[in-house]
Structures are given as structure tokens and as C-alpha cells.
């Protein structure tokens, strides 16, 4: 077993390695184009002062990266977390490019963030940070250029402040499409809140139905464990339960809870809202986050941070299927260990693409000054997710067994769904880039 310290864990380096792995399976693409795909189009780094509630002044550091806009304006989350860095934002922006290409959306990839710990900040301080950050970004975001969305420790309230600040700076325009994930009253979309988690469930349902997970063809009776009971985790748990699963464990940053009979999700959510954590919910057993990853279950959904399943703990996973609700929760070394042990990983690029799909629907509704009902959004999301999963499975089959471009290009390479998804995404991007003749 490798030691965690010997594993490459820089998110940007990991993203590049994933890209390089996929490029081997693409035929006839200009080498120089691949360098272009790896390079972010624009990286903005800002530092700004904010007055705190106690009247002191603190300086915050924020980033916004537009990785690629060949397919359309950038879209991607803004996260508030102490570990936000230029490298992590660059890596996540590139991942957004591949997600949008994979889902066949007319969006490019972007991401942003501010290094801060919202748990130590008041709501008014977060609001001031948000307004000042948007002011610093200026015209580097916009309804037709780069559109922020929610991510870790940002939510529809944060998106409302982003909209309001941008709207003040650009009066007299329909500015609603400048940001997605807004409250309904401000032009948010029905179904955006649960889109990422619901998308995870739909993707897993389709993967199982197509026979990609040994011994599991649906959620009926499946035991699910969710690490990270936030936007993505709650919606994934609820959707999987709706599809017939039993949620036996959930957790947040303070620890986890377990109940083999199934956790009452509404009660867990109410308990978390009241106590700041799911820990302590009556009729459940308290567990650690490490124990949650190793729990005896069928489907494990890491839906919190990146790099949670690494070479030092991948061997403890007992699930048959891992659904990457979070971005980058399974490291490449862990991918290898899991595949060798027969654990299927539904990769982030595919599993959590539902968020940006409904962000796109929100943007379309805002452009048309319209609002669709939730059934319409869910139906469109379902169809788009199934299309993306099918495209990845078909490519996976070509790479592993069939004929066609890139099949068995390198027999020594390990083929998995992550690789197949990247190949689908890069092929689409390459096609569009060639059609546009982007280099002249
Ligand atoms: P969130 O802030 O709503 O929820 C995060 C949850 O994770 C919280 O319950 C928090 O307590 C928990 N958490 C934090 N640190 C933890 C730890 N060390 N161990 C266990 N739990 C921990 O965030 P979110 O929007 O649900 O995003 C979660 C992940 O999903 C992120 O990786 C994000 O990039 C990814 N993602 C989010 C969206 C979206 O639409 N929100 C879309 C795609 C991907």
C-alpha cells in the first residue's frame, strides 16, 4: 500500500494527468491543440479588504478562472473555503470545461472562490465579502461571458448578492443570466437546488440499468452512504431513497450517523439545521467520517471535499459503486486500487454534471424571461443525464472491447469510466474547436 504522502495530490497536476491519459485515445488531433486545452484562457486573482463586524479590517484572496470558452460563456461555481487556491480553482475550471462538453451544453468551463472559513464569519461578513469580490471581478463576469454558480459553502443567498451587486454595476439590462442558482423569486430555476444530487441518482440508476455494476441493477433495496450532507449530499440521498434505496449513513464536517434500518432524512436535515450537524440525531449511532467511507453498503456517495478516497484508505471501501457527488473525491491511485478490487467509480465529470445542466436551463429561462415548472426541468435533466451516461458507456465499450477510434490504443492502459468520459468530452471540444478554426 502506498503512503498518502507519496501520492500526487496537487489538484491541478491531477487534472492534467487525467487529461493526458485520455489524449492517448484520440486520433488525428493536432498536438498543439492539446496544449491549448490544458491552458486556462484567463486567470484572475484579486485581494480585497473587508470590514468585519468588530470594525477590524481583513484582507481576502479570491480567484476566478475561465478555462475555455470555445463552446460558449463560462459557467462554474464559486466556493468559499480555506483551501481555495489558484491551483485548485484552475483544476476545477478545467473540469467544468469537460463537464459542459460531455453534457453537450453551450457553456465553457469556469470556477471561482475566496479563501475563507464561513463557519467563522457572520452572514453580514459573507455578504460584504461577496459584494466586494464581485466588485473586484468587474466585467470579468457577465451574462454572455462568465456566469458564476453555487459551490462549497455558497448557496442561493450568495448568488442573490452576486446578482444584486452586478445589477447595480450594470443598470438598465436584463442581468438575471449573470449568475445561476439564484432564489426562485430572482429568476432561479425550479429544480436547480436538487439538480446535482438528483443527477447523481439518475446517472447511477442508468449505469446500473445498463449492467455496469456487478450484482446491482437498480436502487431497489440498495444501501447508500453519503459523506457530506449539504446541497449535493441531501439531494442525492433523497433521490436515491425515492428510487428505492435505504440511506444507512450520512455525515458532515463534524462527523456521521448510522442506522442500518435507514435514516429518516427529513429528521436528519431538521436536526442539522437546529444543531449545525447531523451528529446526535436520535435513534442513530455516531460514527466518524473515516468509518462512513468504510461502511458496509452498496453505494457510497462522497459529496463533500476532494481527495477523500486515496491510496491510504481506498482498500477500506466496501461499496460496490462510488458515485462522485463532490469534485475529485477519488484520487488516481485510489481509482486503480478500487478498480482492482472490482469497485465501480461513477466519475465526477459525469455524476455531478446535473448542476451545470440545470444552471444552463436557468440561464435559458432568464434570457427568455420565463420560468418552467419543476416537472419540465426534471424531465429535461433526466433525459440529458441519460444521454451523457449512455455516451460514456458506449465509449467505454469501444475502448475496452470494440473497434473504433482510439480502441486499445495502449493495451497497457487501464480503461475506466473516468477515462471514457474524458475521451467523449475532449472529442467534442476538439470537433468544435476545429470547426471554429480557433487558432487563426
Ligand atoms: P455544501 O456546502 O452545500 O455542503 C458540503 C457538505 O459537506 C456540508 O454538509 C459540510 O458539513 C460537509 N463537509 C465539509 N467538510 C467535510 C468533511 N471533511 N467531511 C465530511 N463532510 C464534510 O456544498 P455542495 O454544494 O453540496 O458541494 C459539495 C461538493 O459537490 C463539492 O465538492 C462541490 O464542488 C461539488 N459540486 C457541487 C455542485 C452544486 O451544484 N452545488 C455541483 C457540482 C459539484
Pocket perturbation via mutation, ligand 1, pick of 11, 15, 198, 231 by most ligand atoms within 8 A of CB: 231
Quote the radius of gyration of the chain (alpha carbons, Å).
21
Taking only the tens place, the pLDDT of each residue in 335-376 is: 999 999 999 999 999 999 999 999 999 999 999 999 999 999
311 vs 27: which has the higher pLDDT: 311
pLDDT at 14: 87
* Whether residue 5 lies in the annotated active site: no
pLDDT at 109: 97
Whether ligand 1 lies within 6 angstroms of the CB of 355 is answered as: yes
Q: How much distance in Å is there from the Cα of 399 to the middle of ligand 1? A: 32
Q: How much distance in Å is there from the Cα of 187 to the middle of ligand 1? A: 24
Pocket perturbation via mutation, ligand 1, pick of 155, 228, 238 by most ligand atoms within 8 A of CB: 228
Whether ligand 1 lies within 6 angstroms of the CB of 118 is answered as: no
Of 151, 144, 110, residue with least CA distance to 130: 151
Taking only the tens place, the pLDDT of each residue in 299-342 is: 999 999 999 999 999 999 999 999 999 999 999 999 999 999 99
Whether ligand 1 lies within 6 angstroms of the CB of 121 is answered as: no
Q: What is the mean pLDDT of residues 76-102?
A: 96
By alpha-carbon position, which residue is closest to atom 19 of ligand 1? 253
Alpha-carbon span 228 to 236, nearest angstrom: 10
Type and span of the H or E element at 108: strand 108-114
Whether ligand 1 lies within 6 angstroms of the CB of 253 is answered as: yes
* Mean pLDDT, all residues of the chain: 94
Q: What is the mean pLDDT of residues 214-224?
A: 97
Of 166, 192, 195, residue with least CA distance to 179: 166
Amino acid at each position: 500500500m502506498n503512503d498518502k504522502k507519496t501520492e500526487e495530490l496537487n489538484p491541478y497536476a491531477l487534472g492534467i494527468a487525467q487529461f493526458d491519459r485520455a489524449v492517448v485515445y484520440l486520433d488525428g488531433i493536432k498536438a498543439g491543440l492539446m496544449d491549448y486545452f490544458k491552458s486556462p484562457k484567463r486567470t484572475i486573482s484579486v485581494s480585497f479588504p473587508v470590514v468585519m463586524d468588530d470594525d477590524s479590517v481583513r484582507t481576502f484572496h479570491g480567484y476566478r478562472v475561465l478555462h475555455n470558452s470555445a463552446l460558449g460563456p463560462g459557467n462554474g461555481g464559486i466556493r468559499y473555503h480555506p483551501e481555495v487556491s489558484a491551483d485548485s480553482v484552475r483544476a476545477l475550471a478545467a473540469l467544468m470545461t469537460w463537464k459542459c462538453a460531455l453534457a453537450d451544453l453551450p457553456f465553457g468551463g469556469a470556477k471561482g472562490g475566496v479563501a475563507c472559513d464561513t463557519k467563522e464569519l457572520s452572514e453580514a461578513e459573507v455578504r460584504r465579502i461577496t459584494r466586494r469580490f464581485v466588485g473586484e471581478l468587474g466585467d470579468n463576469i457577465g451574462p454572455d461571458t462568465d456566469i458564476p454558480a453555487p459551490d462549497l459553502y455558497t448557496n442561493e443567498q450568495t448568488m442573490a448578492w452576486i446578482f444584486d451587486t452586478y445589477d447595480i454595476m450594470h443598470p438598465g439590462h436584463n442581468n438575471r443570466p449573470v449568475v445561476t442558482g439564484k432564489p426562485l423569486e430572482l429568476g432561479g430555476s425550479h429544480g436547480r437546488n436538487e439538480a446535482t444530487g438528483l443527477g447523481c441518482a439518475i446517472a447511477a440508476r442508468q449505469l446500473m440499468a445498463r449492467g455496469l455494476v456487478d450484482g446491482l441493477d437498480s436502487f431497489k433495496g440498495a444501501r447508500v452512504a453519503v459523506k457530506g450532507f449539504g446541497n449535493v449530499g441531501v439531494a442525492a440521498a433523497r433521490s436515491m431513497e425515492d428510487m428505492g434505496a435505504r440511506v444507512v449513513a450520512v455525515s458532515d464536517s463534524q462527523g456521521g450517523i448510522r442506522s442500518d434500518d435507514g435514516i429518516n432524512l427529513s429528521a436528519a436535515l431538521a436536526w442539522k439545521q437546529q444543531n449545525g450537524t447531523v451528529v446526535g440525531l436520535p435513534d442513530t449511532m455516531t460514527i466518524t467520517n473515516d468509518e462512513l467511507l468504510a461502511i458496509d453498503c452498496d453505494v457510497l456517495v462522497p459529496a463533500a471535499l476532494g481527495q477523500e478516497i486515496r491510496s491510504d484508505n481506498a482498500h477500506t471501501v466496501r461499496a460496490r459503486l462510488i458515485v462522485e457527488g463532490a469534485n475529485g473525491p477519488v484520487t488516481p491511485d485510489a481509482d486503480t486500487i478500487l478498480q482492482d478490487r472490482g469497485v465501480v467509480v461513477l466519475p465526477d465529470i459525469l455524476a455531478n454534471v446535473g448542476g451545470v445542466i440545470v444552471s444552463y436551463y436557468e440561464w435559458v429561462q432568464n434570457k427568455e424571461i420565463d420560468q418552467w415548472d419543476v416537472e419540465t426541468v426534471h424531465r429535461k435533466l433526466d433525459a440529458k443525464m441519460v444521454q451523457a451516461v449512455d455516451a460514456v458507456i458506449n465509449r467505454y465499450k469501444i475502448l475496452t472491447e470494440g473497434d473504433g477510434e482510439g480502441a486499445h490504443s495502449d493495451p497497457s492502459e487501464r480503461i475506466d469510466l473516468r477515462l471514457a468520459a474524458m475521451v467523449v468530452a475532449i472529442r467534442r471540444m476538439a470537433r468544435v474547436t476545429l470547426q471554429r478554426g480557433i487558432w487563426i
